[in-house]
Amino acid sequence: MPRFATGRDTGLRQASHATRWLIAGAAGLAGALTAFVAAHAPGHAAATTTPTAPAGPTPTTSAPPPIGGSSTSPATSPTTTQPLAPVAPPVQTPQRHVARSGAS
């Protein structure tokens, strides 16, 4: 093997090792940066807590009045409601589409 071939092979091996270390370091830094941003970004809770129920008796609610017309007083009879008007669909506004390319 010629003398320059062994030097070239050594240099290629060193460049390969350096490239591997750079890729591994870049991936590690990207992961660390992602973890840092995820921990400090707004909208993320630092710790989630479950609200606890207050101690003491639970309040009871009364049952709603019957619907079949057997209520005890005319003032508590159910009222009829009118359905709401449908919401208008969104309006399409005309826009001029412009196509641009990198060349002029």
Residue 58 is assigned to a structural domain of this protein: no
Cβ atoms of 50 and 61 closer than 8 Å: no
Cβ atoms of 65 and 78 closer than 8 Å: yes
Residue 8 is assigned to a structural domain of this protein: yes
Residue 86 is assigned to a structural domain of this protein: no
Domains of the chain: total = 1
Q: What is the residue range of 36's domain?
A: 1-41
Residue 76 is assigned to a structural domain of this protein: no
Residue 30 is assigned to a structural domain of this protein: yes
Output the tens digit of pLDDT for each of the chain's 104 residues. Answer: 676 678 899 999 999 999 999 999 999 999 999 999 988 888 745 555 555 655 655 556 666 666 665 545 555 555 678 888 888 888 888 887 777 777 65
Residue 81 is assigned to a structural domain of this protein: no
Cβ atoms of 65 and 76 closer than 8 Å: yes
